[in-house]
């Protein structure tokens, strides 16, 4: 499946994938405020019982303090599956609005031509992947009152949301804000014991988790299980408890509307976009071109979660700020139409994300998500991908590859034996 971002719905050919940009570029004067991005995804918890150990404080800080996490402006980037890789549509929305209102066509930043081309290629056009009431985007000249326009519109559409204070020396501003709520019809439970999360490298790390399983006793057990849907499951030895599925994709609440969250433990692909496409293909029942139904008769598609199954997902909590150094610096200029002049830009992104057992709430802004039946374990104890999208459409607005435990919720105290 080719993910289509353009308004005409046509699939786009892959662009060259840039290598990771240098992280040592010095900030330049802000002349164009291009990208303040704030992503907040909240899945609020309801616990099945009293927590025996407090959770450690979430990460709060700049991305330079994270050695195993990347925030990327586009999906078509090389994927290091040992790292966390996070993308949100808000930055693309701000870029698109800048192209429409400021450059009046595909934008180009000298010194960042490849990144500019990727952002232009992944444009949403005039149809962002969200309902109109879920986002706001604007761009224009400061001299023409764009900041007042943004403040008035945000105050009306999203009252209570604090709009950033734009740099006084800015000549141009491109801004976007989005939010999306997903609340599970029946909240899941906090796992009584820690979940060992196995990274690609290193020892298992014990983390807090949410979900449902045989260790939970609740009057709502059946309702909770019935809301989940197995979109895809592949097992080398189906029915053998010693060999649980090695690939699976779960929709925790198949009734959520208009937005959907997808959790998938699948093999990483060379790029984040290809991993996303691989996941959405399997979730929609599309097999690889080289595989027929006879090749994998045990694969499951669109099946209910079993009452005897175990389904556990790590919790995530973090607040991270980021600057896209690949797009700004003293050697990088945004080319304007008038007189072919160029101006420097600066970018900024802040992401808040909290994942646990009750639902999902995404907020993001950018200035420039029969007998004894044999139980099946759907345990997200290996790297996995999180996708938030409009249900029924393959146009995500939040994608995160969880490649390690750096941002997973851990307990504040060591796990004790028999705890």
- Quote the CA–CA distance of 37 and 59 in Å, as a whole number: 18
- Looking at the fold, whether 257 and 354 belong to one and the same domain comes out as no
Mean pLDDT over 386-401 rounds to 91
Q: How many domains does the chain have?
A: 2
Residue 102 in any domain: the answer is yes
Q: What are the φ/ψ torsions at residue 120 (nearest 5 degrees)?
A: -65, -40
- Quote the CA–CA distance of 156 and 127 in Å, as a whole number: 22
Which of the four pLDDT bands, split at 50, 70 and 90, describes residue 294? very low
Residue 94 in any domain: the answer is yes
Whole-model pTM: value is 0.84
Q: Tokens representing 220?
A: 């709502």
Q: What is the DSSP string of 297-334?
A: TT-EEEEEPPTT-EEEEE-EEEEEEE--TTT-STT-EE
* Sign, CA torsion 375/392/106/173: negative
Q: Tokens representing 241?
A: 């408890």
- Quote the CA–CA distance of 187 and 223 in Å, as a whole number: 10
- Looking at the fold, whether 266 and 385 belong to one and the same domain comes out as yes
- Looking at the fold, whether 104 and 214 belong to one and the same domain comes out as no
> CA triplet 305, 234, 387: central angle to 5 degrees?
70
User: What average pLDDT is seen over the chain?
Assistant: 80
- Looking at the fold, whether 250 and 358 belong to one and the same domain comes out as no
Stronger pLDDT, 35 or 42, i.e. the higher one: 35
Confidence check: pLDDT of 47 > 60: no
- Looking at the fold, whether 204 and 335 belong to one and the same domain comes out as no
- Token pair 């750096």 in the structure block, residue: 406
Mean pLDDT over 91-110 rounds to 92
> CA triplet 236, 239, 244: central angle to 5 degrees?
55
Selection from 75-84, 317-326, 360-369 with the highest mean pLDDT? 75-84
Selection from 101-105, 342-346, 411-415 with the highest mean pLDDT? 101-105
Over the stretch 107-134, which tens digit does the pLDDT of each residue have?
A: 999 999 999 999 999 999 989 999 999 9
- Looking at the fold, whether 347 and 298 belong to one and the same domain comes out as no
Over the stretch 173-219, which tens digit does the pLDDT of each residue have?
A: 898 888 888 888 999 999 988 999 998 877 799 999 999 998 887 88
Of the candidate ranges 16-20, 183-187, 269-273, 391-395, the one whose mean pLDDT is the lowest: 16-20
Selection from 21-25, 133-137, 197-201, 338-342 with the highest mean pLDDT? 133-137
- Looking at the fold, whether 298 and 199 belong to one and the same domain comes out as yes
Q: Tokens representing 287?
A: 């097999």
* Sign, CA torsion 114/119/125/126: negative
Selection from 96-105, 228-237, 359-368 with the highest mean pLDDT? 96-105
Residue 308 in any domain: the answer is yes
Q: Are 197 and 207 in contact (CB under 8 A)?
A: yes
Of the candidate ranges 15-24, 193-202, 230-239, the one whose mean pLDDT is the lowest: 15-24
Domain that holds residue 120: 32-183+315-366
Stronger pLDDT, 219 or 1, i.e. the higher one: 219
Q: Which helix (H) or strand (E) holds 154?
A: helix 146-157
Burial class (CB in 10 A: 0-12, 13-18, 19+), 28: middle
Q: What is the CATH number of the domain that holds 391?
A: 2.30.39
- According to the model, what pLDDT value does residue 351 have? 76
Residue 273 in any domain: the answer is yes
- Looking at the fold, whether 39 and 176 belong to one and the same domain comes out as yes
- Looking at the fold, whether 42 and 95 belong to one and the same domain comes out as yes
- Looking at the fold, whether 121 and 137 belong to one and the same domain comes out as yes
Confidence check: pLDDT of 99 > 80: yes
Closest CA to 86 of 105, 111, 101, 66: 66
Length reported for the chain: 419
Stronger pLDDT, 240 or 349, i.e. the higher one: 349
Mean pLDDT over 359-383 rounds to 66
- According to the model, what pLDDT value does residue 418 have? 32
Q: In angstroms, what CA-CA distances link 28 with 35, 104, 323?
A: 14, 25, 12
- Looking at the fold, whether 151 and 285 belong to one and the same domain comes out as no
Stronger pLDDT, 158 or 300, i.e. the higher one: 158
- According to the model, what pLDDT value does residue 111 have? 93
- Looking at the fold, whether 205 and 175 belong to one and the same domain comes out as no
- According to the model, what pLDDT value does residue 285 have? 85
């Amino acid at each position: 499946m080719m993910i289509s971002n353009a308004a005409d719905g046509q699939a786009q050919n892959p662009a060259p994938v840039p290598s990771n940009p240098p992280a040592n570029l010095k900030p330049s004067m802000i002349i164009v405020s291009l990208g303040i991005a704030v992503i907040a995804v909240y899945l609020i918890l309801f616990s099945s019982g009293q927590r025996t150990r407090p959770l450690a404080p979430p990460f709060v800080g700049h991305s330079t303090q994270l050695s195993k996490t990347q925030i990327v402006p586009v999906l078509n980037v090389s994927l290091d599956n040992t790292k966390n890789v996070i993308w949100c549509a808000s930055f693309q929305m701000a870029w698109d609005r800048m192209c429409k209102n400021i450059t009046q066509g595909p934008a180009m930043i000298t010194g960042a031509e490849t990144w500019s081309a990727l952002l232009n290629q992944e444009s949403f056009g005039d149809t962002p992947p969200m309902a109109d009431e879920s986002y706001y985007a604007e761009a224009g000249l400061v001299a023409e009152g764009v900041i007042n326009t943004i403040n008035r519109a945000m105050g009306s559409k999203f009252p209570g949301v604090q709009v950033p204070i734009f740099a006084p020396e800015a000549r141009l501003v491109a801004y976007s804000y989005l939010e999306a709520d997903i609340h599970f019809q029946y909240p899941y439970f906090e796992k009584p014991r820690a979940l060992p999360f196995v990274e690609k490298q290193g020892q298992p790390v014990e983390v807090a988790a949410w979900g449902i399983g045989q260790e939970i006793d609740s009057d709502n057990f059946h309702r909770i299980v019935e809301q989940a849907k197995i979109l895809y499951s592949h097992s080398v030895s189906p029915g053998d408890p010693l060999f649980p599925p090695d690939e699976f994709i779960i929709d925790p609440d198949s009734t959520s509307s208009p937005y959907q969250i997808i959790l998938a433990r699948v093999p990483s692909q060379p790029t984040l976009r290809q991993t996303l496409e691989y996941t959405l293909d399997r979730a929609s029942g599309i097999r690889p071109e080289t595989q027929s139904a006879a090749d994998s008769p045990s694969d499951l598609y669109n099946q209910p979660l079993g009452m005897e199954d175990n389904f556990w997902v790590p919790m995530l909590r973090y607040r991270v700020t980021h600057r896209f150094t690949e797009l700004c610096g003293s050697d990088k200029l945004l080319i304007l139409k008038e007189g072919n002049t160029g101006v420097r830009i600066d970018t900024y992104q802040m992401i808040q994300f909290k994942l646990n057992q009750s639902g999902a709430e995404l907020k993001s802004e950018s200035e420039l998500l029969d007998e004894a039946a044999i139980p099946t374990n759907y345990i997200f104890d290996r790297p996995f991908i999180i996708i938030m999208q409009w249900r029924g459409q393959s146009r995500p607005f939040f994608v995160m590859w969880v490649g390690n435990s750096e941002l997973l919720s851990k307990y504040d105290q060591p796990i004790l034996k028999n705890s």
